[in-house]
Structure 1
Amino acid sequence: MLKTTERKSFLYNPIKLTPPQILAILFGVLIIFGGFLLKLPIATEKGISWVDAFFTAISAATVTGLVTLDPGSTYTLFGEIVILFLIQVGGLGIMSFAVLVVIMLGKQIGIKQRLIMQEALNQPSIGGVIRLVRNLFIFSIVIEAIAVFLLSLRWVPDLGFSKGVYYSIFHTIAAYNNAGFGLWPDNLTRYVGDPVVNLVITMLIIMGGLGFTVIVDLWIAKEWRNLSLHSRVMILGTIIVNVIAITLFYLFEQNNPETLGALSESDKLWAAYFQGISPRTAGFNTVNIGALEDGSVLLTILLMFIGAGSTSTGGGIKLTTFLVIVFAVITFLKGKNETIMMKRTIRNAIIFRALAISTISILFVFLGAVLLTLTEDSPFLPVLFEVVSAFGTVGLTMGLTFELSFLGKLIIMFIMFFGKLGPLTMAFSLARPAKENIRYPDGDVFTG
């Protein structure tokens, strides 16, 4: 029988949760809230199942864009606004919105809240996280307002004022938060050669994918030499990866009659440009993804796995994680002891973190692909494409999403949740803190 003091402690002491655990719980609450709203009769035209409601809620909150039903014809205005709300909160961060409300109420932000913000925004320390949130919201509102204005100039003449403005708002929020939701059944394929749509949407994707810290750093530093190492690596890395992806996509698809082959030369360039940028983060498409050549499919899978930048609205292992591993491998091949990036030494702790993220992610994608091959009657490549798209919170599909079984939907839902929170956040939220710090003798293991 428990003693009085033990019983009192058991009943009244609050459960101690780590920042990753709190973040995962808050995100789960947001998804449940969104799922119930989307299940309401006023949210859909003819009603949907519970699994489809929660699938859409998770896809929107994780800013993925995979859908089992066409959003434009399935959901009412209320349902679409719920989706927009989930995208905006999921993209900018549920804790960011909570902190903004507290700031507006004139309250103080405690250490516990700052630690959660540090985890949510993937910051190395708690210093400056509140200022980062404030700048994040100001910048996001300004950029989204400009994009809505530019897209309205293009869509209001075609769709009318109210519908044109609404479509501009919806696609601006979806693009900036790197969610591939579109209100047309064919996504943006009808605008494959439209300069305004291509440029505005891709600029939103790039800015949302760079990461909030990079945007704020650009805003404050104003000169290249004053930028942090992370910002310089992200900017150069994004340019290089995008140029390579655009070039390879054009070479792979230029003669494919179902994608670029039937387009004019200028439209081919616009399509290659858009599809070279979109897969790393956003999930919008201007060509038929299901008709891509195998080379383009593999390229897209790699881009989706790499993902966007840290503290961004996108998913994946993150571009900086990928680049750190690449430079570490180059360092090993050169026989050197220190990994150097832009005349700066990268600490071993960062390299180990990058390896941990990549390893956990690869294993998780492998497990997801194995499970989906058991539940779905589909070739392997579309299955792998679907899993990586869900993990990278991208939203592109080769057509498998609409055909998923009940179990397949549950698997993809969990993968989207895992991909949004990040492999290390999920691992830390489930792991127990070590109670011992033991140093063992060195040992050798043959590798390679």
Structure 2
Amino acid sequence: MERFRNFKILNTLPQKMVAGFVVLIVLGTLLLSLPLATAAGRTTSFIDVVFTAASATCITGLTVVNTASHWSVFGQLVILGLAEVGALGYMTFAVLLFNIMRRNIGLSTQLMVKESLNLENLSDTKSVMRYVVGLSLLFQVGGLVLLAVDFIPRFGWRRGLYVSLYHSVMSFCNAGFDVFGNSLLNFRGDSYVLIVTMILIIAGGLGFLVWRDLLLYHERKRLSLNSKLTLVTTISLFVIGFVLFLVTERNLHALPASWFNRTVNTLFLSVTPRTAGLITVPTTSLQAGSIFLMMILMFVGGTPGSTAGGIKTTTFGILMFQSIAQLRGKRDVEFSHRRFSQANISRALLLIFLASIVITVATLILTQTEHIPKEFGLEYIVFEVLSAFGTVGLSLGLTPHLTVIGKLVIMLLMFIGRVGIFTSLYSLSKRQPKVNSIRYPEENILIG
């Protein structure tokens, strides 16, 4: 009886997580359907409204209409609110509401928070929630102030504060929406804005558990294995991406000519595919090698429990060390004087397998429903698929021209990238294992 009860609870939690995001998308669709949400003289089809609400809730940033010109200030604020809730998790705001009302948090709510933030222990929920809310306010308000220094002289007080707020929130939430009309193309020569934006993107994509470890390091004098692996993998991807972009984009004339601006723009290229979706140069002007590199970075994404998507840095890191151990003939996968459990390795492999299946099926469907321009090949579709799955928001131009079927596929990818794969993995890995009374003989097969 106890086993059945646990089985039921574990299967309803992921369903509640999914239902919560569906409710947010429905609410966003209703608000964006209001006449007051669109700019004067603009109309929006129902499928485009749903697509925008889904993209904002899943903090992706892929758009079928231009955010700056199509939506009114009210519509833009609705998108901003959906991205904020989608990034931090609706359970964060539910708990915040409970605290304001001074009501105790029930066990089911704590389990939902534990699920949404990838926590190991139920006892961590309250302390981590304080860090989630506190750090989010700190970084977003700090970003607002720093950006206002640049934007207010450009646009005036009213417009300057508005774009500073919007850009600060979207950067920290790793969402690709902007109110400039062309992302950050007009600011590729403004290193100050790009540096502040990169700090916000990295802060949001690093994960609240990692930030908590870093802030408490002076007391604990140690970092958790999760934080160490996250930091090593994240820094490695940034450095490798930066070096490779320097090589692949060495002849790109669209980048600013000065050495410092070129360095900042190249570093920005390494940071933004990690689910941020903001860009300083048109993606269509990038070299083939750069586009391929961006696909890899989009697939990896950010850190579990952060505002980022993708398969996550920890998954990539575990498989990287697993490969190194296998090549060295080692039985155990070791990192920082610790050994990864076989359950962790199996979970990472399962995630990679499920993600590959989803991406392959989506790509196959879109090759049949969408038109590929003559100047592009299969990368035109694969890039969009990875951008949607990794909740990035970068595009080679396919999204505004998607068919109805294409929009449905991309919406599903964005949704799966935000909650689906993780929920499926959690459900499979947390079920009660069956104890077999009979084990069959072991036998090897040919591999490779």
TM-aligned CA deviation for residue 440 of structure 1: 3.2
Q: What's 2:21 paired with?
A: 27
Q: What's 1:5 paired with?
A: none
- Aligned mates of 1:415, 1:121 — CA distance in 2: 21
The residue matched to 1:157 in structure 2 has which SS? helix
TM-aligned CA deviation for residue 270 of structure 1: 1.9
Deviates more, 1:187-196 or 1:168-177: 187-196
The residue matched to 2:339 in structure 1 has which SS? strand
Alignment pair present for 1:113 and 2:109: yes
Q: What's 2:4 paired with?
A: none
Q: What's 1:245 paired with?
A: 241
Q: What's 2:292 paired with?
A: 298
TM-aligned CA deviation for residue 212 of structure 1: 0.7
Q: What's 1:446 paired with?
A: 446
The residue matched to 1:282 in structure 2 has which SS? coil
- After superposition, what is the alpha-carbon deviation per residue over 1:277-305, rounded to whole angstroms, capped at 9, x for unaligned? 11012010001111111100110000000
Which of 164, 170, 174 aligns to 2:166? It is 170
TM-aligned CA deviation for residue 164 of structure 1: 0.4
- Aligned mates of 1:167, 1:397 — CA distance in 2: 22
Q: What's 2:156 paired with?
A: 160
Percent of residue pairs bearing the same amino acid type: 37
2:58–2:87: 8 Å Cα contact kept in structure 1?
yes
Q: What's 1:96 paired with?
A: 92
TM-score normalised per structure 2: 0.93
- Aligned mates of 2:342, 2:189 — CA distance in 1: 46
- After superposition, what is the alpha-carbon deviation per residue over 1:63-105, rounded to whole angstroms, capped at 9, x for unaligned? 1110011000010111011001001000000111111111221
The residue matched to 2:216 in structure 1 has which SS? helix
Q: What's 1:222 paired with?
A: 218
Q: What's 1:48 paired with?
A: 44
Matches within 5 A, 1:193-272: 193-222=189-218, 225-257=221-253, 259-260=254-255, 263-272=257-266
- Aligned mates of 2:66, 2:257 — CA distance in 1: 26
- Aligned mates of 1:123, 1:433 — CA distance in 2: 17
Alignment pair present for 1:316 and 2:315: no
- Aligned mates of 1:16, 1:204 — CA distance in 2: 34
- Aligned mates of 2:350, 2:335 — CA distance in 1: 20
- Aligned mates of 1:96, 1:77 — CA distance in 2: 26
Deviates more, 1:220-229 or 1:119-128: 220-229
The residue matched to 2:128 in structure 1 has which SS? helix
Which of 172, 175, 180 aligns to 1:179? It is 175
Change (3 A) 1:336 1:436: closer
5+ unaligned residues in a row in structure 2: which ranges? 1-7
- Aligned mates of 1:345, 1:391 — CA distance in 2: 30
Change (3 A) 1:189 1:224: farther
Alignment pair present for 1:359 and 2:357: no
**What amino acid does structure 1 have at the position aligned with 2:304?**
S
- Aligned mates of 1:344, 1:429 — CA distance in 2: 26
- Aligned mates of 2:332, 2:433 — CA distance in 1: 31
Which of 383, 401, 407 aligns to 1:385? It is 383
- Aligned mates of 2:75, 2:264 — CA distance in 1: 32
Change (3 A) 1:433 1:131: closer
1:44–1:74: 8 Å Cα contact kept in structure 2?
yes
- Aligned mates of 1:62, 1:440 — CA distance in 2: 43
Q: What's 1:395 paired with?
A: 393
Change (3 A) 1:442 1:211: farther
Which of 69, 73, 76 aligns to 2:69? It is 73
- After superposition, what is the alpha-carbon deviation per residue over 1:28-52, rounded to whole angstroms, capped at 9, x for unaligned? 1011110111111000011201111
The residue matched to 1:273 in structure 2 has which SS? helix
2:10–2:431: 8 Å Cα contact kept in structure 1?
no
Change (3 A) 1:247 1:104: same
Which of 278, 298, 302 aligns to 2:272? It is 278
TM-aligned CA deviation for residue 446 of structure 1: 2.8
**What amino acid does structure 2 have at the position aligned with 1:314?**
A
5+ unaligned residues in a row in structure 1: which ranges? 1-13
Which of 321, 328, 332 aligns to 2:326? It is 332
TM-aligned CA deviation for residue 266 of structure 1: 3.0
Q: What's 1:146 paired with?
A: 142
TM-aligned CA deviation for residue 210 of structure 1: 0.5
The residue matched to 1:280 in structure 2 has which SS? coil
- Aligned mates of 2:432, 2:267 — CA distance in 1: 48
TM-aligned CA deviation for residue 21 of structure 1: 0.8
- After superposition, what is the alpha-carbon deviation per residue over 1:240-286, rounded to whole angstroms, capped at 9, x for unaligned? 210111111121012033x43x6343332221011111101201000
TM-score normalised per structure 1: 0.93
TM-aligned CA deviation for residue 432 of structure 1: 12
2:55–2:63: 8 Å Cα contact kept in structure 1?
yes
- Aligned mates of 1:151, 1:171 — CA distance in 2: 8
The residue matched to 1:127 in structure 2 has which SS? helix
Deviates more, 1:419-428 or 1:301-310: 419-428
- Aligned mates of 1:16, 1:318 — CA distance in 2: 23
Which of 51, 54, 57 aligns to 1:61? It is 57
TM-aligned CA deviation for residue 342 of structure 1: 1.2
2:350–2:425: 8 Å Cα contact kept in structure 1?
no
- Aligned mates of 2:168, 2:430 — CA distance in 1: 41
- After superposition, what is the alpha-carbon deviation per residue over 1:161-191, rounded to whole angstroms, capped at 9, x for unaligned? 0110000000100000100111122110111
TM-aligned CA deviation for residue 422 of structure 1: 4.3
**What amino acid does structure 2 have at the position aligned with 1:408?**
G
TM-aligned CA deviation for residue 420 of structure 1: 0.3
2:139–2:203: 8 Å Cα contact kept in structure 1?
no
TM-aligned CA deviation for residue 139 of structure 1: 1.4
- Aligned mates of 2:228, 2:336 — CA distance in 1: 9
Q: What's 1:369 paired with?
A: 363
The residue matched to 1:279 in structure 2 has which SS? coil
